[in-house]
Amino acid sequence: MAKQRLVVIGNGMAPGRALEKLFELAPDAYEVTIFNAESRVNYDRIMLSPVLSGEKTFDQIVIHGDGWYIEKGITLYKGHKVTEINRDARTVTSEHGETAGFDKLIIATGSNPVIIPVPGHQLPGVLTYRDLDDVHAMMLAAKSRGKAVVIGGGLLGLEAAAGLQAQGMEVVVLHLMPTLMERQLDPAAGYLLQKAVEARGIKVHCKANTHEIMGTDRVTGVRLDDGTIYPADLVVMAVGIRPNAALARAAGLEVNRGIVVSPDMRSSDPDIFALGECVEASGQVFGLVAPLYDMAGVVARQLTGDATAAFSPQATATKLKVTGIDLYSAGDFGDAKDREEIVLRDPTRGVYKRLVLKDNILIGAVLYGDTGDGPWFFDMIKRGTDISEMRETLIFGQGYQGGALADPMAAVAALPDEAEICGCNGVCKGKITTKIAELGLTTLDEVRAHTKASASCGSCTGLVEQVIKLSLGDSYNPAAVQPMCGCTDLGHDDVRRLIKAKELKSIPAIMQELGWKTSCGCAKCRPALNYYLICDWPGEYADDSQSRYINERVHANIQKDGTYSVVPRMWGGLTSAKELRAIADVVDKFAIPTVKVTGGQRIDLLGVRKEDLPAVWSDLNQAGMISGAAYAKGLRTVKTCVGTDWCRFGTQDSTGLGVKIEKFMWGSWTPAKLKMAVSGCPRNCAEATCKDIGVICVDSGYEIHFAGAAGLDIHGTQVLGHAKTEDETIEIIAALTQLYREQGRYLERIYKWAKRVGTESIRQAIIEDPARRRVLFDRFVFSQRFAQIDPWAERVAGKDAHEFAPIGTLSLPQAAE
Amino acid sequence: MNAMTADWIDVGAAEDIPLRGARVVRSVAGDLAVFRAADGSVFALRDRCPHKGGPLSQGIVHGHGVTCPLHNWVISLETGEAQGADHGCTPKIPVQIADGRVLLDARAIARLAVSHG
């Protein structure tokens, strides 16, 4: 049988998906011709925002490269806009005069951006945000580093604003409605979003009615109805889209808001399908990718003779693709009499969750700040799951439901085959497992290539990996969770997450609730748990000294012969005659055999007997010295050079800053030791570029470095960011330390943590997101209230006296009978 | 305070040893480590790890074991044997608890003094 001729007008994501499905179902049924008004291949339009912000390049968002069209035998006319559909002759004709005959036609002309017809809307410098050309135009405009106004505070507008800001522009977002993204978010989440957007330095003006776009030769600003004027070199209109149905209308097809289709996706002409954003189905038009992909599947099945295939609009989920802002909404979340809601707010973590219920069925969800459970809620919305059994804990998410808790795999194992894993590409669990079995796939990349799961935004990568693991068992182990120790199967990250989620505030509570396999842990897990509890519940958790390594238990460093070394703090490496005299006296009084200068610019007294420790500390305390914490998984030293005080090259007061940092941060516990340095100029005499955190002073301020190492591993630091003032420097360093305290695994040095979580994510949190930095800084400051107590003074005063004295001494006659 | 019965020496109150912790008893046989596990049971070992002589009294006590503070060998409190892949044994001193007091076996200490003292 001769192949039928299929012509496709448009080469966006929806027809691309339809063709993929078609070739899957019936590789040889059609000879395909595509006319594309854009002069390029099919690319992932959802990912335009990361291209705009510079996080991805065009090549990375191409869905079908030229090779794919050749392989499938498709004739692709790039840059050919179709000007006529002749339904009598069954042909289409492009503006360049190319004509193709069809047996079946797919119209996928997409949508046009809505242009508000205010005065000035045609001025040069006014753009829309729709395709790669717009992105290129915006990136070009952004090179001026000027001012941009984005009209529209919806999904697209906010992504455009964030992208332009990332390109260096000063951005104002104008939004007609009282809160941002009102179609996807309730007002509370809209408010949180506005705060987060503003914290990134983007100005938001809600209830803003644009009066005119100002300028004569090109745009110079925007005036609102209330008279406010925002100067602008670039105006981006992102107020919505309108189905592009002109061609269909001209061909006499039924068009309302969009091209009207019946559930089988056929237009009023049964041989002509319409697909994508140009469509109106069940009275609705569509802009998100998931329903478009559903349509694509229906078109493909109809084309291969499956008359039962039908499209019905489903609830949709939205995720904002702005780095650092986590936002997810799904379903219907409006208020109504017959609805109930469950709300969780956690202001310190910046989390807001709202679930909307109707007759014990979840119908809508808005998540802000913690969106990990979004797909799980969305799945329940689509399936109409009765949630009465888990109502009490529903809002805490999937991790909280019964036995699934300790084992993330169990949750994935329990998902039905039709559960959606990849929202971007509409890939369900069953598709992944089937492909793995059919094709013998063994890696994430292969699964991506064959299923498209996690191939777009990548946020479902973890889930996809878990599905692979379920299919392949232990032979697949790319990101295997290393258990903390033999006492548990949970990894450090899981334990930390559960400590917070379940509010576990003691070691016995953790062991009980998380099913520890031993009665009281071991020397690996107990110090780790003790640290996590100190970090996560400052002021509430009482330190468990029996779960401390000996050095931290007795606040000195054990030596090979069982004696200890004592290192008093010398702020920024500064000392005085008084301190040195006191140290000399202590050395004489307790016959301390070795005195040595350390690498961290202080003095080490080696060979102190354990029972002498409190007396040694007492004498040092009296001279004003406190513990140097040379034994601690915590802040050790802040090494400095002499800076502007003395050095002819010094650019800033590096010694003074080092002292300030040390006085601000001493006493804090961290996952592993934390060593710092401040150098007064790029000659870097304090060797700041191999420290956990380092500062290099420059004329314009302070370059903040981190993630260096000079021990078993040697690593130069990376630059985290630049600060203009000492206060800003300290805020950045404290926030960085707090992030490390909260994310680091016990005994994981900062450079290993940075490698694991990615320096970019750290930079995002600390440098790009001032609000997050501030929250971290505040948490650090709060925890310091309980940490800055000199442990030596406490013990001089009698704390833990049993540690330093033998319980008894047996004289010879007793023991020898 | 170190009252002596015929064969058992009172070294102090069990309560004075922290749970999941240890105290040192100085003796002619060198330092002895007296441990009190989480379940309240008391053990005594010579305070020297069979590996490099680390003071076991300074280690972290977990279950009926202690991890040496120097190189993380795990020593059984019940037998003095190194656990896992490590091999070695530290002498054990029999312990009795009477009226909340910890009593150590005097003969064992004496033997230890002769062999190691």
Q: What is the pLDDT of residues A129-170, one digit of tens each?
A: 888 888 888 888 888 778 999 999 988 898 889 889 888 899
Q: Which of B20, B26, B65 sits opposite A809 (nearest CB)?
A: B26
What SS3 state is found at A506?
coil
- For residue A403, the model assigns a pLDDT of 41
Instruction: For Cα atoms A340, A345, A349, give the angle at the middle one, nearest 5 degrees.
Output: 155
- For residue A424, the model assigns a pLDDT of 61
Instruction: Report the length, in residues, of chain B.
Output: 117
Residues of chain B positioned with their CB less than 8 A from the CB of A801: none
Residue A479: CB atoms within 10 Å: 12
Task: Report the range out of A196-205, A331-340, A609-618 with the highest average pLDDT.
Answer: A609-618
Work out the end-to-end distance of chain A between its first and last CA atoms, rounded to an integer number of angstroms.
109
Whether the pLDDT of residue A545 is over 60: the answer is yes
Under 8 Å between Cβ of A259 and A274: yes
Cβ–Cβ of B52/A527 closer than 8 Å? no
Cβ–Cβ of A526/B19 closer than 8 Å? no
Superfamily the domain A126-239 falls into: FAD/NAD(P)-binding domain (3.50.50.60)
CA distance B36 to A131: 71
- For residue B3, the model assigns a pLDDT of 47
Under 8 Å between Cβ of A110 and A295: no
Long-range pairs of A611-616 with CB within 8 A, sequence gap ≥ 24: A611/A804, A611/A805, A611/A806, A613/A554, A613/A555, A613/A556, A613/A564, A613/A566, A613/A795, A613/A804, A614/A795, A614/A796, A614/A801, A614/A804, A615/A590, A616/A566, A616/A586, A616/A590, A616/A592
Closest CA of chain B from A625, distance in Å? 26
Residues of chain A positioned with their CB less than 8 A from the CB of B39: 519
Confirm or reject contact between A526 and chain B (CB < 8 A): yes
- For residue A481, the model assigns a pLDDT of 60
Confirm or reject contact between A520 and chain B (CB < 8 A): yes
Whether the pLDDT of residue A21 is over 70: the answer is yes
Residues of chain B positioned with their CB less than 8 A from the CB of A554: 58
How does DSSP assign A722-755, residue by residue?
EESSHHHHHHHHHHHHHHHHHHPPTT--HHHHHH
CA distance A781 to A665: 9
**Pick among A484, A518, A520, A564 to test the B interface (most B CBs inside 10 A):** A520
| Sign for the pseudo-dihedral over CA of A701, A673, A535, A345 | positive
When the pLDDT of each residue in chain A is averaged and rounded to a whole number, the result is: 88
The amino acid occupying position A213 is I
Q: Which of A522, A562, A817 sits opposite B62 (nearest CB)?
A: A522
Residue B65: CB atoms within 10 Å: 21
Q: Which of A519, A520, A806 sits opposite B26 (nearest CB)?
A: A806
- For residue A265, the model assigns a pLDDT of 95
Whether the pLDDT of residue A421 is over 90: the answer is no
Distance of CA A258 to the CA centre of its chain: 37
Q: Return the residue of B nearest to A812 by Cα.
A: B28
CA distance A741 to A687: 24
Residues of chain A positioned with their CB less than 8 A from the CB of B42: none
Whether the pLDDT of residue A9 is over 50: the answer is yes
- For residue A815, the model assigns a pLDDT of 43
Whether the pLDDT of residue A785 is over 90: the answer is yes
Indicate the pairing of strand A111-113 with strand A229-231: unpaired
The residues on B that touch A, with CB distances below 8 Å, are 1-2, 4, 9, 11-12, 16-21, 23-29, 31, 34, 38-39, 52-55, 58-63, 65, 67, 69-70, 72, 74, 106-107, 109-110, 113
Cβ–Cβ of A815/B21 closer than 8 Å? no
What SS3 state is found at A297?
helix
Residues of chain A positioned with their CB less than 8 A from the CB of B75: none
Q: What is the tens place of the pLDDT at every residue in A365-376?
A: 888 888 878 888
CA distance A141 to A131: 16
Q: B-contacting residues of A 554-613, CB under 8 Å?
A: 554, 558, 560, 562
- For residue B42, the model assigns a pLDDT of 96
Q: What is the tens place of the pLDDT at every residue in A495-524?
A: 887 888 778 889 988 888 787 888 788 999
Region of residue A695 (phi > 0: left; psi between -120 and 50: alpha; otherwise: beta): beta
Whether the pLDDT of residue A814 is over 60: the answer is no
Report, as an integer, the average pLDDT of A440-449: 82
Instruction: For Cα atoms A149, A152, A157, give the angle at the middle one, nearest 5 degrees.
Output: 80
Q: Return the residue of B nearest to A508 by Cα.
A: B38
CA distance A806 to B8: 19
**Pick among B26, B27, B77, B83 to test the A interface (most A CBs inside 10 A):** B27
The amino acid occupying position A549 is Y
- A-B CB pairs within 8 A amount to 110
Residues of chain A positioned with their CB less than 8 A from the CB of B63: 518-520, 522
Whether the pLDDT of residue A223 is over 50: the answer is yes
CA distance A439 to A33: 29
Cβ–Cβ of A521/B62 closer than 8 Å? yes
- For residue A459, the model assigns a pLDDT of 55
| Sign for the pseudo-dihedral over CA of A764, A768, A771, A776 | positive
Domain A636-789 class in CATH: alpha beta
Cβ–Cβ of A558/B70 closer than 8 Å? yes
The CATH architecture that domain A4-111+243-303 belongs to is: 3-Layer(bba) Sandwich (3.50)
CA distance A550 to A548: 6
H helix or E strand, kind and range, residue A293: helix A289-303
The more confidently predicted of residues A710 and A369 is A710
Q: What is the tens place of the pLDDT at every residue in A279-302?
A: 999 888 887 788 888 899 999 999
CA distance A130 to B60: 63
Report, as an integer, the average pLDDT of A419-443: 83
Report, as an integer, the average pLDDT of B19-23: 94
Q: Where are the beta strands (DSSP E) in A508-600?
A: 557-558, 564-566, 594-597
Long-range pairs of A442-450 with CB within 8 A, sequence gap ≥ 24: A442/A472, A442/A475, A442/A476, A443/A478, A444/A468, A444/A478
CA distance A285 to A274: 12
**Pick among B10, B62, B115 to test the A interface (most A CBs inside 10 A):** B62
Residue ranges of chain A that CATH labels 3.50.50.60: 4-111+243-303, 126-239
The amino acid occupying position A181 is M
The CATH architecture that domain A549-627+799-817 belongs to is: Alpha-Beta Complex (3.90)
CA distance A299 to B39: 69
Q: Return the residue of A nearest to B24 by Cα.
A: A806
Cβ–Cβ of A558/B69 closer than 8 Å? yes
- For residue A440, the model assigns a pLDDT of 85
Whether the pLDDT of residue A404 is over 50: the answer is no
Nearest of A572, A552, A717 to residue A633 by alpha carbon: A552
The more confidently predicted of residues A547 and A516 is A547
- For residue A407, the model assigns a pLDDT of 55
Q: Return the residue of B nearest to A801 by Cα.
A: B16
Cβ–Cβ of A519/B59 closer than 8 Å? no
Domain B8-116 class in CATH: mainly beta
